[in-house]
Amino acid sequence: MNKHMIVSLFHIFLVVPIFLYIAFQRAGTPIPVYHAMIAIGAIILIYHGYKAYIRLAAGSPYAWVNLIHVLFIAPLLIYIGVKGKDTPRASYEILAMVGFAALGYHLYSIVRNMMLEDD
């Protein structure tokens, strides 16, 4: 099992369920989860910020993955975490869309990876 498969499985079985849980629970989300979102958002920002810098400097065509995390995912998580129970409905709906997008993208990635292995 290669690194990309592990990343995809991590997103499908951990990230997507957490995003959808928070999106569907909305203000019913426990307070500690909001605090965790701030920390997770900060970690994503730092990690993917560093990776984006490295990939951009190397001219990698995959820097877009890190930039999506830095410019969109991390700020959304931090925003929802800071706003807590006062988070606007639209933010939860965006989180649900991101969760479903991550599910689709990573399922696609697994299928594509399996098809390439068959060659």
Residue 66's Cβ-count burial label (10 Å; 0-12, 13-18, 19+) is buried
pTM (2 d.p.): 0.94
Alpha carbon distance 61, 55 (integer Å) = 8
* Lookup: tokens for 101: 């997008």
First to last CA, the chain: 16
* Lookup: tokens for 93: 């709906």
Domain of residue 108, residue span: 3-21+30-118
Alpha carbon distance 76, 94 (integer Å) = 8
pLDDT confidence of residue 85? 97
pLDDT confidence of residue 13? 98
pLDDT confidence of residue 18? 98
The mean pLDDT of 112-117, rounded to a whole number, is 88
